[in-house]
């Protein structure tokens, strides 16, 4: 007993008289290798970027210019992350949701009156196992194992889908009752609007409808005045009837979706206008983009859009401020343009857009590009608004740049917030 205790406490290896390594060294070596074996396959989170309001979940308000690891889940592994405006959601392997960061509109889903938290707090009021989580600029949502949709946070334009009489701020998760009997497969949250896809491939949208981002079109009232463009409960996007939608995305002022045949549709005045589709196209209802190959995934940022094709190619278009398109310049691209660089060698399997930065996973690695920070200068005082590219600075990058996440680590998911980034990783 005492001998074992001595071995564990020892800090230096002991060499025996016959030249063999001491038992203390071998004991520590065995413990180390056991820990390494037990951590293999375990999924955990890394975050970097602006640390204001504790959105990184690291126990402080400091920004991180390189990835830092969040381990505030009692040893439980993670299977999902969603970065919002200034908050972050985490999904554990047992289907529980945690939240950290700004809580000025109840977006953390905690019942107390904390304005922010610097460490992940378990979200209350979710009665069933959660399988998917989503974060908007000021609101959040979760999908249960049986396809029910819960939402919480800011509701100023009906973006929670809880009805016109619902409060403007909802601080705890509420089930979207109007969807009772409907199975939700996935959702997407933008700045002030939300979208969802049912198990039948129907696309729904609700919330603030400015710029046509809901896809319903501007309908005048009987007196000729423009109706409110807000929708307070989920509404079917009629222009997409006949198409089986499999995924949706929501940006600042535009939205997009992909159907089962790999066709991409986009709606929102700013987004469609930048595609040069002509005046005959109604920006307030979905328009198909014929210039793209068969596609699997779409992501919407502030004013840019990204698509991953069935062959793992990445295409981007729209506003290219700070190089967020990753095409080696800052020129606006009105049509989809393929992002090259490292993606010519390895296929892209996932992409995520922030306000003016982008991140993707390729070959198990995370790459990021675009807006690095507010001024493009490195800040050593921990208060820079940048760092979301994970390069040790807050300068901009106009091409995909590898993010160093350490050795023997594989990236499984990446999520871009307004100006922070998170990833789910796995030891290999």
The answer to whether 49 and 56 have CB atoms below 8 angstroms apart is: yes
Looking at 1.10.3720.10, 2.130.10.30, 3.40.50.1820, 1.10.8.50, the CATH number of the domain 42-427 comes to: 2.130.10.30
| pLDDT tens for each residue of 101-147 | 999 999 999 987 899 999 999 998 999 999 999 999 999 999 999 99
pTM: predicted TM-score of the whole model, two decimal places = 0.88
- What was the pLDDT predicted at 204? 98
Average pLDDT over every residue of 37-66: 88
The widest CA-to-CA distance across the chain, in whole angstroms, is 100
- What was the pLDDT predicted at 229? 81
Q: Where are the domains of the chain?
A: 42-427
pLDDT bucket at 422, cuts 50 / 70 / 90: very high
Q: Cα(89)–Cα(92) distance, rounded to whole angstroms?
A: 10
Q: Cα(285)–Cα(209) distance, rounded to whole angstroms?
A: 11
**Range name among 140-144, 238-242, 273-277 with the lowest pLDDT average:** 273-277
Q: Cα(308)–Cα(349) distance, rounded to whole angstroms?
A: 7
Q: Which residue has the higher pLDDT, 130 or 221?
A: 130
Q: Is 330 left (phi over 0), alpha (psi -120 to 50) or beta?
A: alpha
């Amino acid at each position: 007993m005492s001998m074992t205790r001595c071995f564990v406490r020892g800090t230096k290896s002991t060499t025996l008289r016959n030249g063999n390594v001491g038992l203390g060294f071998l004991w520590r070596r065995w413990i180390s290798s056991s820990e390494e074996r037990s951590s293999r396959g375990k999924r955990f989170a890394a975050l970097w970027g602006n640390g204001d309001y504790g959105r990184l979940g690291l126990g402080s308000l400091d920004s991180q210019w390189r990835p830092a690891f969040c381990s505030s889940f009692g040893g439980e592994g993670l299977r999902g992350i969603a970065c919002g405006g200034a908050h972050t959601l985490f999904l554990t392997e047992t289907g529980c949701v945690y939240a950290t960061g700004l809580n000025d509109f109840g977006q953390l889903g905690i019942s107390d009156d904390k304005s922010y938290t610097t460490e992940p707090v378990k979200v209350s009021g979710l009665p069933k196992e959660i399988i998917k989580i989503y974060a908007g600029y000021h609101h959040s949502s979760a999908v249960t194992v049986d396809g029910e949709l819960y939402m919480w946070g800011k509701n100023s334009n009906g973006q929670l889908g809880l009805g016109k009489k619902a409060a403007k701020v909802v601080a705890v998760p509420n089930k979207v009752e109007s969807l009772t009997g409907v199975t939700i497969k996935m959702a997407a949250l933008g700045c002030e609007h939300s979208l969802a896809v049912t198990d039948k491939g129907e696309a729904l949208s609700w919330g603030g409808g400015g710029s046509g981002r809901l896809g319903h079109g501007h309908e005048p009232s009987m007196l000729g005045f423009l109706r409110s463009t807000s929708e307070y409960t989920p509404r079917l996007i009629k222009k997409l009837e006949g198409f089986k939608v499999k995924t949706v995305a929501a940006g600042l002022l535009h939205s997009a979706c992909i159907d089962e045949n790999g066709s991409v549709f986009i709606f929102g005045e700013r987004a469609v206008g930048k595609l040069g589709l002509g005046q005959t196209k109604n920006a307030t209802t979905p328009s198909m983009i014929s210039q793209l190959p068969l596609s699997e995934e779409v992501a919407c940022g502030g004013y840019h859009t990204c698509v991953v094709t069935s062959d793992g190619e990445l295409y981007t278009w729209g506003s290219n401020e700070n190089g967020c398109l990753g095409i080696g310049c800052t020129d606006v691209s009105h049509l989809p343009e393929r992002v090259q660089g490292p993606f010519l060698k390895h296929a892209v399997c996932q992409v995520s857009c922030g306000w003016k930065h982008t991140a993707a996973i390729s070959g198990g690695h995370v790459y990021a590009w675009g807006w690095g920070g507010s001024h493009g200068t490195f800040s050593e005082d921990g208060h820079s608004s940048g760092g979301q590219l994970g390069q040790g600075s807050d300068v901009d990058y106009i091409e995909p740049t590898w993010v160093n996440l350490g050795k023997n680590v594989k990236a499984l998911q990446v999520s871009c917030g307004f100006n922070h980034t998170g990833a789910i990783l796995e030891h290999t």
